[in-house]
């Protein structure tokens, strides 16, 4: 799925899962996203809210494709957001940052 195809308001019963590392997340992320880095996914699966669909995003789509495949193989309905946060940012979707002094950006 391309970022443009993801509704601006996530469908009810779905979640946006950001699997980037902490420094990438802190630089800028989607306001409604849940953060579980790919490197910690298996240990933190219980932190992913129950959802009908999980939209998985990373910086460019590579890590999220792997995570979506893993989740699908384990009973989730997961969809990779291709082009990731690079695509998200390019189409003007909102970003928030954990750095109160800085402007959000995709790292």
Separation of alpha carbons 91 and 12, rounded Å: 22
Separation between Cα atoms, residue 69 and residue 65, nearest integer Å: 6
**For 38-70, how does the pLDDT look when each residue is reduced to its tens digit (9 = 90+)?**
999 999 999 999 999 999 999 999 999 999 999
* Closest among 21, 89, 80, 15 to 48, alpha carbons compared: 15
Reported as a single tens digit per residue, the pLDDT across 66-91 is 999 999 999 999 999 999 999 999 99
Residue ranges of domains in the chain, CATH in brackets: 3-90 (3.40.250.10)
Q: How many CB atoms lie within 10 A of CB 50?
A: 8
At 11-23, the pLDDT tens digits run 999 999 999 999 9
Q: Which residue in the list 16, 38, 57, 58 is annotated as catalytic? A: 58
Clarify whether 66 is annotated catalytic. Answer: no
> Can you list the alpha helix ranges (DSSP code H) found in 1-107?
22-27, 62-73, 84-90
């Amino acid at each position: 799925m391309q970022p443009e195809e993801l509704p601006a308001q996530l469908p009810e019963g779905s979640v946006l899962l950001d699997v980037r590392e902490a420094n990438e997340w802190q630089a800028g992320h989607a306001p409604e996203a849940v953060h579980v880095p790919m490197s910690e996914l298996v240990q933190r699966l219980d932190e992913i809210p129950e959802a009908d669909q999980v939209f998985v995003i990373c910086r460019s789509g590579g890590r999220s494709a792997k995570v979506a495949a893993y989740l699908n193989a384990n009973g989730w309905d997961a969809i990779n957001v291709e082009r990731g946060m690079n695509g998200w940012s390019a189409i003007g979707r909102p970003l928030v940052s954990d750095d109160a002094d800085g402007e959000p950006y995709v790292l």
